[in-house]
Chain A
Amino acid sequence: MTMQISLQHRFAGFALDVAFDVPAGVTALFGPSGSGKSSVIKALAGLMRPDRGRISVGGQVLLDTDQRINLPPHRRRIGCVFQDDRLFLHLTVRQNLLYGRWFSPDKGGVSFEAVVDMLGIATLLARRPQTLSGGERQRVAIGRALLANPQILAMDEPLAALDEARKAEIMPYLEHLRDQTQIPILYVSHSVSEITRLAGSVVVLGKGQVLKTGPVAAVFSDPNLTPWLGGVREAGSVITARVAAQDADGLTRLETSAGPLWLPKVEAAIGATLRVRIAAQDVMIALQRPDGISALNILPATVVALRMGDGPGAMVQLRLGEELLLARITQRSAVQLGLAVGAPVFAVLKSVAVAPGDIGAPPITP
Chain B
Amino acid sequence: MPDWFSPDEWRAIALSLRVSAWATAVSLPLGILVAFVLARRQFWGKQVLNGLVHLPLILPPVVTGYLLLLTFGRKGFVGQYLDMIGVVLAFQWTGAVLAAAVMAFPLMVRAIRLSVEAVDARVEQAAGTLGASPPWVFATVTLPLILPGIIVGAVLAFAKAMGEFGATITFVANIPGQTQTLPSAIYAFLQVPGGDGQAFGLVLVSVFVAMAALAVSEWASKAVARRISGA
Q: Does A243 contact B (CB under 8 A)?
A: no
- The complex places the Cα of A292 from the Cα of B136 at a distance, in Å, of 72
One digit per residue, 1 when the CB lies within 8 angstroms of any chain B CB and 0 when it does not, for chain A 123-155 equals 000001111000000000000110010000000
Q: Do the beta carbons of B229 and A80 come within 8 Å of each other?
A: no
Q: Does B120 contact A (CB under 8 A)?
A: yes
- The complex places the Cα of A276 from the Cα of B136 at a distance, in Å, of 47
Q: Do the beta carbons of B230 and A88 come within 8 Å of each other?
A: no
Contact A77:B131 (CB < 8 A) given known A82-B122, A86-B126, A90-B145: yes
Contacts of B120 in A (CB 8 A): 86
Q: Do the beta carbons of B129 and A74 come within 8 Å of each other?
A: yes
Q: Does A325 contact B (CB under 8 A)?
A: no
One digit per residue, 1 when the CB lies within 8 angstroms of any chain A CB and 0 when it does not, for chain B 101-141 equals 00000000000000000001011011111111110110011
- Please report which residues of chain A, range 69-99, place their CB below 8 angstroms from some CB of chain B when the two chains form the complex: 72-80, 82, 84, 86-90, 99
Q: Does A104 contact B (CB under 8 A)?
A: yes
- The complex places the Cα of A166 from the Cα of B33 at a distance, in Å, of 41
Contacts of A86 in B (CB 8 A): 120, 122-123, 125-126
User: Which of A129, A131, A148 contacts B131, CB < 8 Å?
Assistant: A148
Q: Do the beta carbons of B131 and A128 come within 8 Å of each other?
A: no
Contacts of B134 in A (CB 8 A): 72, 74
Q: Number of contacting residues on B, CB 8 A?
A: 24
- The complex places the Cα of A78 from the Cα of B122 at a distance, in Å, of 16
Contact A45:B129 (CB < 8 A) given known A84-B122, A131-B230: yes
- The complex places the Cα of A160 from the Cα of B137 at a distance, in Å, of 27
User: Which of A47, A75, A89 contacts B228, CB < 8 Å?
Assistant: A89
- The complex places the Cα of A75 from the Cα of B130 at a distance, in Å, of 9
Q: Do the beta carbons of A47 and B125 come within 8 Å of each other?
A: yes
Q: Does A14 contact B (CB under 8 A)?
A: no
- The complex places the Cα of A72 from the Cα of B129 at a distance, in Å, of 9
Q: Does A53 contact B (CB under 8 A)?
A: no
Q: Do the beta carbons of A103 and B228 come within 8 Å of each other?
A: no
Contact A145:B144 (CB < 8 A) given known A86-B122, A89-B230, A130-B230: no
Instruction: Tell me, rounded to whole Å, the shortest Cβ–Cβ distance linking B222 to chain A.
Output: 15
Closest to A45 in B: B129
Q: Does B204 contact A (CB under 8 A)?
A: no
Instruction: Tell me, rounded to whole Å, the shortest Cβ–Cβ distance linking B140 to chain A.
Output: 8
Q: Do the beta carbons of A103 and B144 come within 8 Å of each other?
A: no
Contacts of A223 in B (CB 8 A): none
Best-buried of B130, B131, B230 by chain A (most CB within 10 Å): B130
One digit per residue, 1 when the CB lies within 8 angstroms of any chain B CB and 0 when it does not, for chain A 103-133 equals 1100000000000000000000000111100
Q: Does B41 contact A (CB under 8 A)?
A: no
Q: Do the beta carbons of A148 and B130 come within 8 Å of each other?
A: yes
Contact A74:B132 (CB < 8 A) given known A86-B123, A89-B145, A90-B144: yes
Contacts of B137 in A (CB 8 A): 74
Contacts of B229 in A (CB 8 A): 89, 130
Q: Does A357 contact B (CB under 8 A)?
A: no
Contact A99:B127 (CB < 8 A) given known A86-B120, A89-B228, A130-B229: yes
Instruction: Tell me, rounded to whole Å, the shortest Cβ–Cβ distance linking A105 to chain B.
Output: 8
Q: Do the beta carbons of B228 and A90 come within 8 Å of each other?
A: yes
Contacts of A89 in B (CB 8 A): 123, 145, 228-230
Q: Does A100 contact B (CB under 8 A)?
A: yes
Q: Does B231 contact A (CB under 8 A)?
A: yes
- The complex places the Cα of A102 from the Cα of B227 at a distance, in Å, of 23
- The complex places the Cα of A84 from the Cα of B230 at a distance, in Å, of 18
Residues of chain A at the chain B interface (Cβ within 8 Å): 45-47, 72-80, 82, 84, 86-90, 99-100, 102-104, 128-131, 144-145, 148
Q: 17 new A-B pairs (CB below 8 Å) besides A74-B133, A74-B136?
A: A45-B125, A46-B129, A47-B125, A47-B128, A47-B129, A74-B137, A86-B120, A86-B125, A89-B230, A90-B228, A99-B132, A99-B140, A100-B130, A102-B132, A148-B129, A148-B130, A148-B131
| Top 4 A-B residue pairs of the complex, sorted by shortest distance between their CB atoms | A103-B131, A130-B230, A100-B130, A128-B230
Residues of chain B at the chain A interface (Cβ within 8 Å): 120, 122-123, 125-134, 136-137, 140-141, 144-145, 227-231
- Can you list 17 A-B contacts with CB-CB less than 8 angstroms, sorted by A residue number? A46-B128, A47-B129, A72-B128, A72-B133, A74-B134, A74-B136, A79-B130, A80-B126, A82-B122, A87-B123, A89-B230, A90-B145, A99-B127, A99-B140, A100-B131, A128-B230, A144-B130
